[in-house]
Amino acid sequence: MRLRGTGKALASAQGLSSTPQAQTGVKVYGVADLAIVKYRTEGASKTALHTGGSGSRLGFLAGEDLGNGWRVGARFEAGINLDTGTPSSTSGNANRVFSRQAYVELENRELGALRLGRQQGPIYNFLPDYDPMLLPPMDSWGVLTTLGAPVPGRASGTGKSSGFLINPTTRTENTIGYISPQMGGAQARLSYSLDEGQPTQADLIEASFDYSTGPLKMGVLYVRAGATPGAGAVAATEAVSEFALGLRYQSGPVQPYFSYVRRDATDPTRASGGGVLNGNTETVKLVGAVIPVSERGAVRMTYGQYDSGNADSDATSYGVAYTYQMSRSLMLMVAATHLTQDAAGRVPVFQSPVPAPGKSVTGLATGLTWRF
């Protein structure tokens, strides 16, 4: 749905000059996504309704052409849990109204775009390009890059992993972002998120570069969270960085995908004797494929290995799904996932019960995604 007005009408309503201006527009859009999911681990099971692929949302996208290749715009996007009607994607702040995105943007078709506010930066945009399933609760990308952490990427203070910084649902606030124009198949994204003087909040740098030629696309991603001095019961941390590489080939009967993620410290909490509590690296290696089986249907699969910075805590994840595009806007899906781990691992799968040490987790899901 589009709502339109003119700068001239607005100026007249405010008693200002009626000099003709460029036409403005507002687009209202949304996603309704819900799945029925069954989780099982030794001694516990759970059946739930929650998002299956794309988080449900309601958004407003406004823009105005300024002439000479310039455009100004803004986006306000609220996440919604369809099972309860409550806000989603709040990053622990229940007062967020536009929890997914809220930014203003100035764009030039030759120079690129500058965005200010809460936004989906290079981390978020890396996921859909190099994940063949795009069903985070069920696929290896989602399972292994979050590792069950409620706030991925934060220091645990225990020497154990707290989840990767590179997380399929990551958004940043107080962010200055830049998106380059596409040039010869190449595009860069860069963002910097301010800590605003908060002693427990790290500043964050994200940068990505992607290159496409025909059916081949490849990309790299770099993320760095700065050191924090800590406050009260929240310990100080050292800086921590991650690097990711992605590759896909979208042609033929089997379309392969590959990605690799490396974090340079498992727990960057500052140790009393200097250094960090756990400076071991963590890595995730992921492969997958899309196999088109009809004009509208496809089998999607992922396999991933997590190499932990803690002893006996590695994990392996499998995911498979069948998706059917009923129309351009409606997708149906069925999916399954299975995670195994070493004797000390206790990684859950999305909203599954937390397993006993070393126990596996299985998930089954069916649901739909409608975009409007």
The residues spanned by each domain of the chain are 2-371
Helices (H), the chain: 7-13, 122-130, 140-146
Indicate the pLDDT class of residue 21, thresholds 50, 70 and 90: low
pLDDT band at 166 (very low <50, low <70, confident <90, very high): confident
Looking at domain 2-371, its CATH superfamily turns out to be Porin (2.40.160.10)
Are 141 and 343 a contacting pair, CB within 8 Å? Answer: no
pLDDT at 270: 96
| Range in 127-136, 144-153, 353-362 with the lowest mean pLDDT | 144-153
Task: Tell me the helix, strand and coil percentages in the chain, rounded to 5.
Answer: 5, 50, 40
Helix ranges, 73-206 (H)? 122-130, 140-146
Give the H or E element holding residue 11: helix 7-13
Say what the pTM is. Answer: 0.89
Give the pLDDT confidence score for residue 71 in this predicted structure. 98
Whose CA is closest to 318, among 132, 129, 166, 169? 132
Please name every residue paired with 134 in a beta bridge, in sequence order, or none if there are none.
Answer: none
203 closest CA partner among 180, 174, 232: 174
Average pLDDT of the segment spanning 10-21: 37
Whether 148 and 163 have beta carbons less than 8 Å apart is answered as yes
In the structure, what pLDDT confidence band is assigned to residue 18 with cuts at 50, 70 and 90?
Answer: very low
The contacts of residue 232 (CB under 8 Å, 6+ apart) are none
The CA distances from residue 204 to 103, 223, 360, in Å, are 17, 7, 34
Per-residue pLDDT at 193: 96
pLDDT over 60 at 169, yes or no:
yes
